[in-house]
Homo-oligomer: A and B are copies of this chain.
Amino acid sequence: MGKAYLFAPGPTPIPPEVLLAMGRPIIHHRTPQFRRLFKEVREGLKYVFQTEQPVIVLASSGTGAMEAAVSNLFSPGDEAVVVRGGKFGERWGEICEAFGVRTVNIDVEWGKAVDPQDVERALKTHSRVKAVMWQASETSTGVMHPTKELGTLCQRYGALSVVDGITAIGVFDVPMDKWGLDVVVSGSQKAFMLPPGLAFIALSEKAWSSVERAKCPRYYFDLAKERSSQEKGDTAYTPAVSMIMGLKVSLELIREEGLPNVFARHAVLARAARESMVALGLELLAPESPSDAVTAVKVPPGVDGAAIVSTMRERYGITIAGGQSRLKGKIFRLSHMGYISKADMILAIGVVEVALRELGFEVELGRGVAKAQEVLFGS
């Protein structure tokens, strides 16, 4: 039997009711029926983003919305501070480079969160800086950067805060308006429990006024054009209709559970993952500031990192993620984001134990599971 399980940081498992909604006959996008649906979806997105601003829906993966942030905020020659503590931090820098935006890079050891003092120093010494860009959750390392503190710093120094929330929004609390964040980006295949193919971006009023002056070229990702269309219930270009049909259902699921409960669930799942791995004698990559989206675990000495991922998938049907870029072979990443229950975590941790033992790492079977049971179901 090929029963399969997803514990990778995107795509994440899709609830059957969402799959069914996407499998319904497609509707045309220039109809009252679509406009009604899209209106509900936009309201639901505001709830999850915790903002009064419109959340723009794009037909792209998350990187498209990251590009939209850059091309809609900047003119060539503008300067931005980029927090580079992983593959996705580097991506902010690469997009800036592609669009002629100069970057002040803050390189952070992969596995560590950025120190706000380093960002403050950069803001003090580079007075032309227009924005600071970081990941609320750096998916490649499993680190949570201090978004609230960085947002406050940006306000103090008059810079825009540009936050990649792709694996943060709907996972843990990133209240956009309350924290005064200027740009927040997310994507469908993470906490939104959908396939990849939709990206979301919300801008503060301050950010919207930067859009008017920004001269970087954009067309498909022209946010001002999208905003004026989407406020009328349309989109500038053909939307990914089926995905939006699914999104309506996944947003209902989130609202039903309630954001505080969703955050609490992710928090306890993440804690179970971390503590169980430590109980097995493994080391976490990011013990100090871990993201509740995904837990990065160092591959123990003598074990083949790639083999952990392939053994889990091929023998037990469980897809976890390996390391990316410079962390290739050095970590494995167990995600607990989206449609994941407490019982699912028991399953995943139990199979990690079995796979590790199979690959020659000495494991007391059940030890990690016991720790997880305690965290998840304990008094």
Q: A36-64 interface mask toward B, CB cutoff 8 Å, 1 = contact, 0 = none?
A: 00000000000000000000000111111
Q: Does A113 contact B (CB under 8 A)?
A: no
Query: Which chain B residues border A22 with CB–CB below 8 Å?
Result: 22-23, 242
**Bound form: Cα–Cα A196–B222 in Å:** 19
In terms of DSSP, what is the predominant structure of the interface of chain A?
loop
* A26-B6, A61-B237 known; A197+B11 contact, CB < 8 A: no
B28 near A6: Cβ-Cβ < 8 Å? yes
Q: Could you tell me the distance in whole angstroms from the C-beta of A84 to the nearest C-beta in chain B? A: 16
**Bound form: Cα–Cα A41–B13 in Å:** 23
**Bound form: Cα–Cα A94–B187 in Å:** 27
This protein's copies in its complex: 2
Query: Which chain B residues border A242 with CB–CB below 8 Å?
Result: 22, 195-197
Q: Does A331 contact B (CB under 8 A)?
A: no
A217 near B61: Cβ-Cβ < 8 Å? no
Among B23, B189, B216, point to the contact of A217 (Cβ < 8 A): B216
Q: Does A239 contact B (CB under 8 A)?
A: yes
**Bound form: Cα–Cα A20–B220 in Å:** 30
Among B70, B197, B217, point to the contact of A243 (Cβ < 8 A): B197
**Bound form: Cα–Cα A319–B29 in Å:** 10
**Identity of the chain B residue whose Cβ is nearest the Cβ of A68 in the assembled complex:** B220
Query: Which chain B residues border A59 with CB–CB below 8 Å?
Result: 59-61, 64, 196-197
**Bound form: Cα–Cα A219–B62 in Å:** 12
* A28-B8, A220-B67 known; A62+B238 contact, CB < 8 A: yes
Q: Which of A95-103, A282-290, A358-366 contacts B (4 or more CB under 8 A)?
A: A95-103
A61 near B31: Cβ-Cβ < 8 Å? no
A interface with B by C-beta (< 8 Å): 4, 6, 8, 10-11, 13-14, 19-20, 22-31, 59-64, 67, 70-71, 94-95, 98-100, 187, 189, 195-197, 216-222, 237-243, 313, 319, 321
**Bound form: Cα–Cα A238–B61 in Å:** 6
A11 near B241: Cβ-Cβ < 8 Å? yes
Query: Which chain B residues border A238 with CB–CB below 8 Å?
Result: 10-11, 61-63, 187, 189, 196
**Identity of the chain B residue whose Cβ is nearest the Cβ of A218 in the assembled complex:** B98
* A60-B64, A217-B100, A313-B31 known; A241+B25 contact, CB < 8 A: no
**Bound form: Cα–Cα A25–B8 in Å:** 14
Q: Could you tell me the distance in whole angstroms from the C-beta of A157 to the nearest C-beta in chain B? A: 27
**Bound form: Cα–Cα A239–B240 in Å:** 14
Among B25, B29, B216, point to the contact of A4 (Cβ < 8 A): B25
Query: Which chain B residues border A20 with CB–CB below 8 Å?
Result: 23
**Identity of the chain B residue whose Cβ is nearest the Cβ of A30 in the assembled complex:** B321
Query: Which chain B residues border A62 with CB–CB below 8 Å?
Result: 237-238
Q: Could you tell me the distance in whole angstroms from the C-beta of A219 to the nearest C-beta in chain B? A: 4
B28 near A11: Cβ-Cβ < 8 Å? yes
* A-B contacts, 29 listed (Cβ < 8 Å): A6-B25, A6-B26, A6-B28, A8-B30, A11-B26, A11-B29, A11-B238, A13-B25, A14-B26, A19-B24, A26-B189, A26-B195, A59-B64, A61-B238, A62-B237, A63-B220, A63-B237, A64-B237, A70-B219, A95-B219, A99-B219, A100-B217, A187-B238, A195-B242, A195-B243, A196-B239, A196-B240, A196-B241, A216-B217
